[in-house]
């Protein structure tokens, strides 16, 4: 074991334990604690239906500070009425009493099945157990404890220099189904030892999310419990980042990189996925058009099954762009599979099927649409749709 | 063989033949001819990308009259450039020369793979063959000839009395994947011997579609070749329907019924579908909200796989409603699976899992969301998402 993910930065300890919420006995409770009162920011689901633990965090993070994050998997603590709000408050105050902070400084996350109450005895025993096993090497255990249908745990970190000081940003994420802009059934916690104000942290997180977590799609469903939370403890002792400028730019680009690495891991681990698909919209007239097109193509089950089947069926890609609601000129549109031009100015181009097959058999496939209509570039990451998606989701709740 | 589908009304003959467009040698060309110049109307795909045969029909039907419809399956005649428009014109004039009408009176449809030219020698030979086998019993052969991934051919008819005269409305449809509002990869031809003006026919068709073909969803993809065309030959000799009134109302309700029967057949035959799902939105505040919610729930792969797996996972239904963009109060929402209440005022209700399993195992499942927020009712038909959807679509083009 070594420092990784959320415990990569100085001043963070974490734990991941099994408390019995998951029926299979696997880890289901993660605790991350900052040694110092940290600046905090969050981005939350846009779903009209919101989980109780999520609502707690949305409300409390407005203060811009936090000491800890508690996340359970196996039960979403959603749609159970006022009792769910009480359970969330209880969970936060129980953790706060151990850590020695205010309940409002404890952010919460719950992910799993909707419509069932949390077993608070198990949760409390889990928090006890996690608290006593907090460690600077605990990042990877925490990352394991937040998994639901994930097939691998997801964490990353990156170190930079700001004002002569070494600054680290680390993060973990979970989620594989229901991932779609904005914020699907994913939870990510990012930590940093950077010294940065809550205001600038919030600004950086929103910008990073718009290029990472809000640019992935697995099945187009967005969940009621999705969130990204960032805590900045300040132990790196860099000159405080209090406004835009070169230091902020470095921090933002690193945060974006960390977020993109995690986001791509989520797309790659899409339920039943066999490959990562990157869809690019080049030379769009407007950001809105690019967004509509990328979403439609990334969500299309016909596109996703074709790529699963290694079928260079660009007609489905073009069709999805066509019904996206975006304004573009079909007669000016080019489509590429990898580097292979398959459609020029809206018309089929004869291409080497063997070459296409080779590109499609790779673990990462890039699809590019060029609209020759402006200067906007955007992209989205998604995955293919396989038999296993159906298998996983046809029997999840039971 | 007997009169059925499009040849149910007096004055229509049809044929379905194999001309070699489909590699497997199955029927792939349908011809429907009205003995009289018929009033005609059409509803077409909203996709920005439009097939060449479709564009021909969209343009020509503006005259409000037609004599015939030629449809080929196996090749969509889409995205092949100006040659595709020329092929469409050629197809229409060849058929017109045999029938003895103007090319602009021949409506066209092409469905199948995108990006390949039609083989005009095969098409012309097919039209020759179809023309010489035109018959009042040919409705079912025509219905077979327009199938692509359909597992059964779809036709229906209904007879009513208008002004003391027997009036028949008959129709056929194809499509199973890519079906979504508005007008997915479906083609439907409806015929009637009613005497009705083109204007009233257009009005009736639009109204009927909004409650039938535009209320089905299989995978959320909408195709570039979708259309519904109706021809009214007038041979029933009813008092002409020239305005709204009781006769129009009878005609409209019957047309709606015929359209719904065909639409439900399409949803039931969704690629890989094992059951028909009807989703109802009750007591919505506005039509727009109902529409957004129904679309999101019907498109959700998580909802569709859960129902495939007989899993009463109402959390996914609620989640989809939540991200639909509709305005509604989650805390007032009730959800039913069949007649079983599973969520009341946004909170889980304990329910009999055995009872739920029994409901979900039926071939038709009704899901109801009650928003207790207004008076709007709407519904949509869709199907579950199974392993076979992936199988069919992972290897379609090749």
User: What is the residue-averaged pLDDT of chain A?
Assistant: 92
- Cβ–Cβ below 8 Å for B114 and A398: no
B323, A46 Cβ separation under 8 angstroms = yes
CB of B367 closer than 8 Å to CB of B276: no
Contacts of B285 in chain A (CB under 8 A): none
Please identify which of the residues B111, B168, B185, B368 carries the catalytic annotation: B185
What is the reported pLDDT for B183? 42
pLDDT at B220: 59
Given this model, what pLDDT does residue A149 score? 83
> What pLDDT does residue A114 have?
86
Nearest to A319 among B49, B395, B396 (CB): B49
Average pLDDT over residues B309-335: 92
Report the distance separating Cα B169 and Cα B179, nearest Å: 23
Chain A partners within 8 Å of B178 (Cβ)? 302, 319
Tell me the per-residue pLDDT of B227-286, one tens digit each, with 9 for 90 and over: 999 999 999 999 999 999 999 999 999 999 999 999 999 988 887 889 999 999 999 999
Please give the radius of gyration of chain A, using alpha carbons only, rounded to the nearest integer: 22
CATH fold of B5-266 reads: 3.60.70
Tokens (6 digits) for A55: 């609502």
A254 belongs to the catalytic site: no
**DSSP alpha helix (H) spans, B103-152:** 120-132, 139-145
Question: Confidence class of residue A103 from pLDDT cuts 50, 70 and 90?
Answer: very high
Residue B85 confidence class, pLDDT cut points 50, 70, 90: very high
Q: Average pLDDT of A327-342?
A: 96
Nearest by Cα to B262 from B323, B195, B314, B213 = B213
**What tens digit of pLDDT does each residue of A114-164 get?**
899 999 999 999 999 999 999 999 999 999 999 988 889 999 999 999 999
Calculate mean pLDDT across residues A163-192: 82
Q: What is the pLDDT of residue A156?
A: 97
- Distance to chain B for A186, nearest Cα, Å: 14
pLDDT at A157: 97
- Least confident interval from A387-391, A394-398, B336-340: A394-398
pLDDT > 50? residue A244: yes
Q: Is A302 within 8 Å of B219 when comparing Cβ atoms?
A: yes
Least confident range of A137-141, A303-307, B12-16, B98-102: A303-307
Distances from the Cα of B393 to the Cα of B45, B178, B298, B387, angstroms? 21, 10, 19, 10
- CATH topology assigned to domain A6-268: 3.60.70
Residue B156 CB coordination number (10 Å) = 22
B32 three-class SS:
strand
Q: Indicate the domain borders of chain A.
A: 6-268, 276-393
A18-53 residue pLDDT tens: 999 999 999 999 999 999 999 999 999 878 888 999
Give me the CATH topology for the region A276-393.
Ubiquitin-like (UB roll) (3.10.20)
Q: What is the pLDDT of residues A44-98, one digit of tens each?
A: 987 888 899 999 999 999 999 999 999 999 999 999 999 999 999 999 999 999 9
- % of chain B beyond a pLDDT of 70: 94
Q: How far is A16 from chain B (nearest CA, A)?
A: 27
> In the predicted model, what is the mean pLDDT of residues B329-355?
95
Which of A224, A302, A323 shows the shortest C-beta gap to B393?
A302
pTM: 0.81
- Mark yes or no for CB contact A114/B178 under 8 Å: no
Q: How confident is the model at residue A181 (pLDDT cuts 50, 70, 90)?
A: very low
Q: Which pLDDT score, from 0 to 100, does residue A182 have?
A: 44
B62-79 average pLDDT score: 95
């Amino acid at each position: 074991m070594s420092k990784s993910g959320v415990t990569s930065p100085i001043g963070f300890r974490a734990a991941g334990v099994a408390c019995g919420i998951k029926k299979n006995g696997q880890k289901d409770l993660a605790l991350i604690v900052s040694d110092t009162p940290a600046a905090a920011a969050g981005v939350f689901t846009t779903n009209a239906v919101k989980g109780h633990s999520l609502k707690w965090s949305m409300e409390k993070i407005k203060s811009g500070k936090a000491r800890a994050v508690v996340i359970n998997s196996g039960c979403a603590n959603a749609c159970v009425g006022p009792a769910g709000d009480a359970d969330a408050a209880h969970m936060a105050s129980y953790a706060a009493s151990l850590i020695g902070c205010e309940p409002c400084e404890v952010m919460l996350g719950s992910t799993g099945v909707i419509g069932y109450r949390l077993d608070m005895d198990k949760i409390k025993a889990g928090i006890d157990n996690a608290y006593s096993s907090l460690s600077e090497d605990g990042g990877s255990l925490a990352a394991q404890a937040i998994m639901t249908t994930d097939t691998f745990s997801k964490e990353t970190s990156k170190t930079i220099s700001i004002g002569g000081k070494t600054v680290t940003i680390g993060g973990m994420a979970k989620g594989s189904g229901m991932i779609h802009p904005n914020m699907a059934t994913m939870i990510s916690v990012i930590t940093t030892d950077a010294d940065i104000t809550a205001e600038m942290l919030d600004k950086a997180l929103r910008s990073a999310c718009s290029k990472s977590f809000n640019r992935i799609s697995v099945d187009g469903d967005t969940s009621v419990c999705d969130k990204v939370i960032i805590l900045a403890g300040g132990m790196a002792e860099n000159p405080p980042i209090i406004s835009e400028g070169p230091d902020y730019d470095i921090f933002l680009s690193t945060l974006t990189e960390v977020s993109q690495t995690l986001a791509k891991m989520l797309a790659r681990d899409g339920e039943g996925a066999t490959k990562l698909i990157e869809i690019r919209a080049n030379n769009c007239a407007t950001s809105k058009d690019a967004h509509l097109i990328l979403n439609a193509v990334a969500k299309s089950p016909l596109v996703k099954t074709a790529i699963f089947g290694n079928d260079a069926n660009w007609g489905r890609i073009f069709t999805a762009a066509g019904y996206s609601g975006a304004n573009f000129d079909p007669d000016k549109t080019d489509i590429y599979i990898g580097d292979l031009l398959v459609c020029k100015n809206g018309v089929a181009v004869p291409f080497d099927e063997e070459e296409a097959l080779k590109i499609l058999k790779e673990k990462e496939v890039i699809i590019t649409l060029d609209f020759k209509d402006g200067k906007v570039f955007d992209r989205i990451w998604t995955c293919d749709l396989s038999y296993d998606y159906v298998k996983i989701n046809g029997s999840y709740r039971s």
